[in-house]
Amino acid sequence: MEPDVLSVYRRLVEHSPSLHLCRFHPLSPAPRRRFPATQRVTDAPVGHPACSTSPTLSRMAVFTAVTDSQLTDWLQHYELGEAVDFRGIASGIENSNFFLTTTRGAYVLTIFENLTATQLPFYLDLMRHLASHAVPVPDPMPRRDGTLFGMLNGKPAAIVTKLDGAPELSPGPLHCIEVGQMLARLHLAGRDFPVHQPNLRSLAWWQENVPAVLSHLSDAQRALVTGELEHQASFFASDEYRSLPEGPCHCDLFRDNVLFAHPTANETRLGGFFDFYFAGNDKWLFDVAVCVNDWCVDLASGALDLARVDALLRAYQTVRPFTPAEAHHWNDMLRAGALRFWVSRLYDFYRPREAEMLKPHDPGHFERILRERIKVAPPPVHGN
């Protein structure tokens, strides 16, 4: 999702000054609809003015409305009981997401605004595979016919289990330890996943979309992005790159895509990873680099916080040690991860799509990270 959480928060607080940053949750619910499971209520859709006191929330979160009668009919295809509570989720820039509570449990219903019915099985099957291997991810619920999704309002939609917890927007080393260990477990669990789909936002996508934004950049920015693109193309063509271990990757493991539960005031427990809809087969090292570039940076400067980097990498390598080639090319992958998100943010900023967030993410954040990775090489890591 790549959210600029602070800018989202600032827009929200304009409409609700009582919000406080320490309690802000990117998955905060929009106004909800409660109704007895045996009683159907009005058909005002989520995001409709009659159901919303926060126009910012409804515009951000829900692009496709769902009426109560549509929801009731939709649930007939599942063995999940009847709806008790249904509310739009105030986050997400790609899909329409809803918290759904039924008489049998808590779930998330997602309507996919961009992914097609042909593309969707890879993501849902991967999540189901990981869940079956004890990786805490949303588990897609099968329909009565055994399929994992159907069409709702003309778009593919699925129901997955709801994870416990909330994102940690100011992580410390202990959070990074838990994330690093679980990311390595995810990589190993995906080794026997039988379906292959490449990371659709990798080198070919960068090469295709960089030309579309060049006219909007300064001379220095054009030199940076084209020079780095050439560096990465050379790296990707090398025998050492091809030798790097690979498999299914999350490819977007930002702070807002990880939940932490808090059983007690002094305890933190990883609740799970979610939002797998940028996932694909890639080098595992790329997945780690994307993670470190978000979890272990100073947000103002883009510089690495070495204590958090060390915590995350040590924890990851207790489960899956780096190979010597991975250790050698660690900074190349950090640069690749920075370039990937700089290009996507530039593209979204200068070529926005309809129904996106009201304010695109700041492309400058990943430009700073890329410049920092080129200027300051990280401490060496060691492989087996």
- For 307-363, write each residue's pLDDT tens digit: 999 999 999 999 999 999 999 999 999 999 999 999 999 998 998 665 444 466 889
Domains annotated on the chain, with CATH: 28-161 (3.30.200.20), 173-375 (3.90.1200.10)
Which pLDDT value is given to residue 34?
Answer: 53
Question: What is the pLDDT at residue 294?
Answer: 98
Instruction: Report which residue type is found at 72.
Output: T
* DSSP label at residue 99: E
List per-residue pLDDT tens for the chain, 384 residues long. 444 433 433 333 333 333 332 323 334 344 455 544 333 333 333 333 223 333 333 334 467 889 999 999 999 999 999 999 999 987 666 789 999 999 999 999 999 998 999 999 999 999 999 999 999 999 999 999 999 999 999 999 999 999 999 999 999 999 999 999 999 999 999 999 999 999 999 999 999 999 999 999 999 999 999 999 999 999 999 999 999 999 999 999 999 999 998 766 677 799 999 999 999 999 999 999 999 999 999 999 999 999 999 999 999 999 999 999 999 999 999 999 999 999 999 998 998 665 444 466 889 999 999 999 999 988 889 877
**Which positions ≥6 away from 172 have C-beta within 8 Å?**
308
What span, in angstroms and rounded, lies between the C-alpha atoms of 66 and 152? Answer: 9
Strands 95-102 vs 83-89: parallel, antiparallel or unpaired: antiparallel
In whole angstroms, what is the distance from residue 303 CA to residue 36 CA?
A: 51
Q: What per-residue confidence (pLDDT) applies to 26?
A: 36
The token pair that represents 125 in the structure block: 């099957």
Confidence at residue 212, expressed as pLDDT on a 0 to 100 scale = 95
User: Which pLDDT score, from 0 to 100, does residue 89 have?
Assistant: 86
Residue type, 314: R
Residue 233 confidence (pLDDT): 99
Residues 317-340 as b/e (b if ≥16 CB within 10 A, e otherwise) read: beebebbebbbebbbbbbbbbbbb
Quick one: pLDDT at residue 94?
A: 78
**Residue 304 gets which letter from DSSP?**
B
